[in-house]
Each structure stands twice: as structure tokens, then as C-alpha cells.
Amino acid sequence: MSAPSRLERQLAFLAEIDALKSVERMTRVIGGARRENSAEHSWHLAVMAGLLAEYAPEGCDPGRAARMLLIHDIVEVDAGDAFCFDERANLGREERERQAAERIFGLLPADQAQDLRALWEEFEHGDTPDARYAAALDRLQGMLQNLHNEGGTWLEHDVPRAKVLARLEPVRTGAPDLWPFVQEVVDRLRPAASRAAGSGDRAHGSDAGPEAAPARKRGAEAPQR
């Protein structure tokens, strides 16, 4: 048996990552019909990277951030997606993802394996302008889905307002001009705990009831072939 050719390795990797389409995230598609998978989530983020480039931090290359976002979840093919607010599911996550990176990127020719592995690690460390912008978009997208799903996973899982804001914190450094908007949305959705606690958060919020955008069912109307 001869060693696989460069093209064979590239195609084996591309076939392997098809499985990301079957990794479910906690967040739902807009309209709520089903949970989103990590492949379509990555697509959404890469589109955002181009369109929201004007809010990226100084020194960021939005095209490179898009490339990072396209591959940032690939380790989930082996490691699965851990719901961000589930502490138990996140135990050992780093080690599982490291092993996954080793195996999955390792399917590629060495130069490309090294390139994608480094790009993924840069995202994980979050120290560069590209990684910070990418992380901001990752959080922002979850917020948008929840905004259009009447609070979505935040209300569904009764996540306290402070935890929601902490989760969204990367937006403050990765897309600083969008931070006021993020705060406004969180206040508008008023996650469960802020209501339960009464709390000093009131200063930011309106006193009107929840005003989340209505859930839509667009996808169901589109012709399906």
C-alpha cells in the first residue's frame, strides 16, 4: 500500500469534516425549528466577518478572521459542542479538543496541518486582533439567534444576566463599537435572573415587557427541492 498522495490527504480531511454538519449546538436556528449545527454556524460567522469588518479592532485582517472562523469548530467533530453555560460538559474539554486537533488536522499534508492547527490555536488563545474579532462575532451570533428567538437559550436555561454579559464580554474588546448595542439587547431581553433579583441592573433597562423580535418561520416558506 503506497502512502496517500497530497490530494488524497486533502480530500480525506474534507470528507472527515463533513461530520461537523451533524454536531448540534444548543442555540436554535431563527424560528426555533431545530438546533443549529456547527458547520452552518461557522458559515454564518464567516459571512459576518466580512460584513461587520468596519467594527473590527485595529490591526485585524477580516479575511483572515473569516478563515479562522471557518475552522474554529472543526475539533468538535471528535469533541462535540459543549454548551457554554454547562460547567460539567466543559470539564476536560480542552484536552479533548487538543486530541481532536491532533487527529483531524493531522489528516492533511504536513504544511497545511501545521497552518490550520496554528490558526485554531490562535483562535483558542484569543490574543491577536484577528482572534479577538473572531471571538466577538462568535458571541454576537449566538446573541442574534437568541434575540430573534425570544430569548432563546438564555431564557430556556434560565441563565443569569451577569453570566450572559460575561459570556458576551469578548465583544467589548473584539468589536468595541458594538458593545453598547450588546448591552441594550441584553437589557431588552432581560434574562430571567435579572427579573428574579430585581437588581440594580434596572438603570440600563426599560420598564416595558420583553420586546424580543418575533420568532419567524421563513425557512419553512421557502420552496424546498
Binding its own copies by CB under 8 A: which of 3, 56, 85, 112? 112
Q: Does 107 bind its own copies (CB under 8 A)?
A: no
3-class state of residue 37 by DSSP: strand
Backbone angles phi, psi at 28, to 5 degrees: -100, 155
Element (H, E) at 26: strand 24-28
Give whole-number Cα distances, 3 to 8, 9, 113, 138, 178, in Å: 9, 10, 17, 38, 50
> Residue 191: what residue type?
P
Per CB under 8 A, 51 contacts its own copies: yes
Q: Three-class SS of residue 168?
A: helix
| Stretch binding its own copies (CB under 8 A), from 125-133, 141-149, 162-170, 190-198 | 141-149
Give the DSSP H/E element, type plus range, for residue 27: strand 24-28
Kindly state whether residue 66 participates in binding its own copies, applying the rule CB under 8 A.
yes
The contact mask relative to its own copies for 144-173 (x = CB under 8 A, - = no) is xx--x-------------------------
Please give the Cα distance from 131 to 18 (Å, whole number).
24
Among residues 77, 165, 168, 186, which is the contact residue for its own copies, using CB under 8 A? Answer: 77
Adjacent-strand bridge partners of 35: 28
Q: Is 186 in the site for its own copies (CB under 8 A)?
A: no
Kindly report the number of other CB atoms within 10 A of residue 103's CB atom: 12
Q: Does residue 80 interact with its own copies by CB under 8 A?
A: yes
**Residues in contact with its own copies, shown as a per-residue x/- string from 191 to 220 under the rule CB under 8 A:** ----------------------x----xxx
Which residues here bind its own copies, judged by CB under 8 A? 7, 10-11, 13-24, 26, 29-31, 33, 36-37, 39-40, 42-44, 46-48, 50-52, 63, 66-67, 70-71, 76-83, 86, 89, 108, 112, 141, 144-145, 148, 178, 181, 213, 218-220, 222-225
